[in-house]
Chains A and B, each alone.
Chain A
């Protein structure tokens, strides 16, 4: 049986690989969406924070012997704290200005972080081994799926769902959303809004750090790994609807699949296809797939 001229087996294989990549897009754009949706900051440093997360995991393993599972908790914590520091030192001064200033600030910070790591570790990067418990592969009949990739999809789904639940379904999330709508009023009710904003930014940064640790065993840990991704992530967020958490998760997965199939049918176009989709979505639904029309 063939689907679009490719055998069913290959079709299923590519579908699954697309979902794996989509899981990364989903997790990374989630952090962007949280930060934009809640704080209105276009965080261009998200890619660099992802890179820092991967390096943090690698440094923990090689210098301190901290294994993958601990790094999975510790590295996002480190990146989250870095996010908090960035928010306190730089971004809080820019809230009154046009969002463009936040974009420029985070873009500059991303360049600096990348430059520092490039100076220290060079551009060839470092290799992070797949943890023993997840090494090996499972034969699914239509393809051999490395166990680690299956784990990534699972982890990403859990992270996306819990983030969505936290923001849309809990009291804390309600405060957060109210704080974005009308900060002075929420503050008047006794909620510490600046603290909440700081922690939200830290949380969004931690999500990038987590994605970094998850990606480390799959791709080479290099200072440039974030800047390769950041533009794609913005496209994912725009397609999903700026600031929509569900939107960025779903469109992340979807675009991973679209990109995967482009690699089969027209590989040269695989790094452009996401932007083609973005253009079409913006023409048809300017607010994005899940965005609310203004």
Chain B
């Protein structure tokens, strides 16, 4: 077998790399972001997300403890193995002090394991899966901004309160979609609603009409879209075309402002959606958004705003801790209060950022008075009600 010596060489090689992993205490400090730079999620995070990390570093002064800060970035191509090997290389060879996890739950789950082994803080801004701070939680992972539980609770609770009790799910057939559906189903059941059916559509389906016809014949009142990105866009377009939006209320469980912009208000008006942040929510968010707009000619998604906020939060924690030691900075992160243009809240023992979530409704074309004027606020749900409660958390760190 040729494989054996190869594997042995690799193991020895990696061992040597591991041995070099001591920060020398001088020279630049490296922080990094691994995200989808070219694929289906490149618009909601992508190169602009990398730039947001750089903005935070710049606004912080560019230096930490007298040392310049450098921002590394890499494209994970939505493959967990690529994400985790980049994270490992950066942490082992480049003394990475902090990692921002971009979009894709699968990649983030893989990287958070590396972060725990290398004892480097990872702040997952883009991933949705609540597993990051539940069964797969660890002491070095922070889930920053939103998760599937909060999305489901905010959207589902509000709609059931409005009298929409019979639900049908159109679900993306992979980890994210399924966990979104199961989280939302729990909320629907608990609030006295019923789920009358669901369709699991393969990722990347372009024609959703068959599924929509099934949803329509189920006589459900709510069509809940447990999908994201291009799948959501195409499903929404078909729902409009087949007149489903007239007979059923459509709820998007994870909708980004980029989706609404791409589909147009005519196709999305009245849609209710949950999100942690919207560019036009207050003066501070507008200031940030205007700056973003000047460079990119579009408004930031909540993930891009989260990238900025997460980087800033870590920089402040490291400054306060006076060290790059992962364990000490994590302790500081969990002690501090966060209050910036993105979030007001705190990071709980399981690593979950507890911040307010909002329920928005997409405006009609008549209500929209300026470019990117897309949402109106329906309700704000305090963080401690939106996220998994401390009692329900399955993370061992919460039991201490």
Contacts and interface: CB of A to CB of B under 8 A. Distances in A.
Given A127-B267, A264-B210, A270 B242 contact: no
B38 A220 contact: no
Given A127-B267, A267-B199, A271-B205, A118 B258 contact: no
Nearest to B207: A21
B133 to A, nearest CB: 28
Given A125-B233, A125-B262, A270 B205 contact: yes
B237 A127 contact: yes
A229 B206 CA distance: 9
A21 B261 CA distance: 26
B347 to A, nearest CB: 31
B110 to A, nearest CB: 22
A143 B243 CA distance: 11
A124 B242 contact: no
Contacts of A13: 213
A163 interface: no
A218 B217 CA distance: 21
A270 B209 CA distance: 13
B307 interface: no
B243 A218 contact: no
Contact of B237 (A218, A224, A228, A270): A218
A219 B234 contact: yes
B42 A123 contact: yes
A188 to B, nearest CB: 47
Interface string B220-245: 00000000011001100110011100
A222 B230 CA distance: 9
Nearest to B238: A218
B279 to A, nearest CB: 16
A217 to B, nearest CB: 8
Nearest to A7: B217
B282 interface: no
Given A123-B43, A263-B201, A263-B214, 19 more contacts: A7-B217, A10-B214, A13-B213, A21-B209, A122-B42, A122-B43, A124-B43, A124-B258, A124-B262, A126-B262, A129-B264, A144-B242, A219-B234, A220-B230, A220-B234, A224-B40, A228-B204, A267-B173, A267-B200
Interface of B: 38-43, 173, 199-202, 204-207, 209-211, 213-214, 217, 229-230, 233-234, 237-238, 241-243, 258-259, 261-264, 266-267
